Amino acid sequence: MLLWRKGKDHRPKVTLGITGWWSPRVHINGSVRHLKYRGAPESNLWKNRHPKRRNFIKERKFDILSLMNNAVGNLTWEQKSVIIGSVLGDGHLRKIEGRRFAFLEIQHSIKAKEYCEWKYSILKSICKSPPKIRKMDEKREVIKFQTREHPEIDEIYRQFYEGKKKVVPKNFILNPLSLAIWFMDDGSKSRGSIYLNCQQFDWKSQRRLLHALRLMGIKARMNKDKKYYRIRILKESTKKFLEIIKPYLHYSMFYKLPG
């Protein structure tokens, strides 16, 4: 057995193929990947079952590090966008003491069942089990699911949390899908105006969200809602806002759009 190591959290194991030394593989995060060699090995050793192949392959340098960077299990752009949009909205990242990585927990009202299941369909590859309905009390039911612990989710956790408090990181940039998820989670309409609820964030984080919207060409301002503040999209930017998010909206959330 040959071992390579990259950092503290990666210990890939290289084993030989079932048919002998012809097909070495690497095991990373539970997945099996066949290896390619650097350089062109001698033709006699490569094409034929030469008795010296065993020693030859042991001495070759496998391209392990580049393989690890592209290992199965890395988050897609779509998955990262859904996670970040959910963190801005109703989702929560959690990290259990003593565990290495954080995970995402999604919970919605039973009325948003289809929307929750749509989120799950995007994150399915990193989830433990499908969404489940929970009865909170006699009148309230919710649907929820959670992802597995994941190193890239842990990176997002470190950016968006200070202790148990949600924050928006400095120089934060929104993309259209994350904005759409945020709107579907915490957006609302009132008298023809669109609002994004961000009461869970402090003033500094709210200003960073405003800046991220302006970078997308959306004009908005803070609007006081009783004791707290939320973001109101200015009417002159409503059309621009809707053009950005509409391609990513789930049909069950169309009711949130202004008429």
Per run of 10 residues, the mean pLDDT along the chain (length 259 residues) is 43 44 46 45 44 44 36 80 97 94 96 97 95 88 96 96 94 97 95 92 96 97 88 95 97 93
Q: CATH number of 167-259: 3.40.630.40, 3.90.600.10, 3.10.270.10, 3.10.28.10? A: 3.10.28.10
- One DSSP character per residue, the chain reads -EE---SSS---EEEEETTEEEEEEEEETTEEEE--BSS---HHHHHS--TTHHHHHHHS-B-HHHHHHT-TTPPPHHHHHHHHHHHHTT-EEE--TT-SS-EEEEEEEGGGHHHHHHHHHHHGGGBSS--EEEE-SSS-EEEEEEBPP-HHHHHHHHHHEETTEE---TT----HHHHHHHHHHHEEEETTEEEE--TTS-HHHHHHHHHHHHHTT--EEEEEETTEEEEEE-HHHHHHHHHHHGGG--GGGGGGS--
Extents of the domains making up the chain: 2-69, 73-166, 167-259
Q: CATH number of 73-166: 2.60.120.10, 3.10.28.10, 3.40.50.2000, 3.40.50.1820? A: 3.10.28.10
- Whether 167-259 and 73-166 are alike in CATH topology: the answer is yes
Per-residue model confidence (pLDDT) at position 53: 45
Per-residue model confidence (pLDDT) at position 27: 47
Per-residue model confidence (pLDDT) at position 73: 64
Its pTM surpasses 0.85: no
Per-residue model confidence (pLDDT) at position 190: 87
Per-residue model confidence (pLDDT) at position 247: 96
